[in-house]
Amino acid sequence: MKQTYSRALVTGASSGFGEQFARQLSARGTALVLVARRGDRLEKLAAELGTEIEVLPADLTDPAGLAAVEDRLRDAAKPVDLLVNNAGVGTTGPFAEMAAQSETDKVALNVTALMRLTHAALPRMIAARHGGILNVSSIASVNPVPWATTYGATKAFVTSFSENLNREVRRTGVHVTALLPGPSATPLTDEGFDNRLPHLFWQAPEAIVARGLSAVAAGKPVCITSRVLAFATVTGGRMPRALQYVIGDRLIGRG
């Protein structure tokens, strides 16, 4: 049975998938808590949406910012019954030449913040026997992505964490889903990924977000966002590893 949600907290809501999550949820009548570093962009987006909106500017790599969002998730006065962990960062290049602090910050945002926000939201959802947590991962979590070493590793954590947690809470009324999009025209792709895969692998952000919202409502532990990607992932384990590396290279524009 599919769930519906009254209030969603969306991280990374100022652009890309996060903005699209906000727009689609608002169109369904869901109240929103919008989280991102850029408060001005959140305010602009909030003015365009029709439902009850809270704007919560926060840098999730900063302890104070992360704590503020955790506190909001624990607030019983206006409970959040859908958490969309969308905030993330991805850059490419030889790992040995990347700044150590930027790689550490990548882990802090893609892994630590996601885990802590999930931990903050989950107890109240379990007590209510209702809720959803949608964690935005990547097809890079299940395919080698040389030149995006830390990014791929963080997304592998997200997929494994989500699938395992969904199994833990499956009888509590709470759904946890990992969303595995492939190439899409978002700021993340524009900034770090010069993708050279054929166009049949690409999807519009609107379609990816709609698939993710449908998947978490239905309680699916993992959602690969297209049939082409699903086929490539299922058959990928039978491919020679060297071929998987070539695909990974093309995914980030090194092939």
Contact 74, 126 (CB under 8 A): no
Low-confidence spans in the chain with pLDDT less than 50: 190, 193, 235-237
User: What domain count does the chain have?
Assistant: 1
The boundaries of the domain holding residue 155 are: 7-251
- Residue 64 inside a domain? The answer is yes
Per the annotation, the verdict on 5 as an active-site residue is no
Q: Quick one: 50 exposed, middle or buried, by C-beta within 10 A (0-12, 13-18, 19+)?
A: exposed
The pLDDT assigned to 235 comes to 47
- Label residue 44 left, alpha or beta by phi (over 0 means left) and psi (-120 to 50 means alpha): alpha
Within a 10 A sphere around the Cβ of 195, how many other Cβ atoms?
Answer: 17
What CATH number should be reported for the domain holding residue 53? 3.40.50.720
pTM, full prediction: 0.88
Confirm whether 125 is domain-assigned. yes
Asked if residue 2 is part of any domain, the answer here is no
Q: What is the pLDDT of residue 142?
A: 83
Given 151, 157, 161, 201, which residue is catalytic?
151
Q: Is residue 148 part of a domain?
A: yes
- Residue carrying the six token digits 């070539």: 246
Is 200 inside any structural domain? yes
**pLDDT at position 244, please?**
58
CA–chain centroid gap for 255, Å, is 26
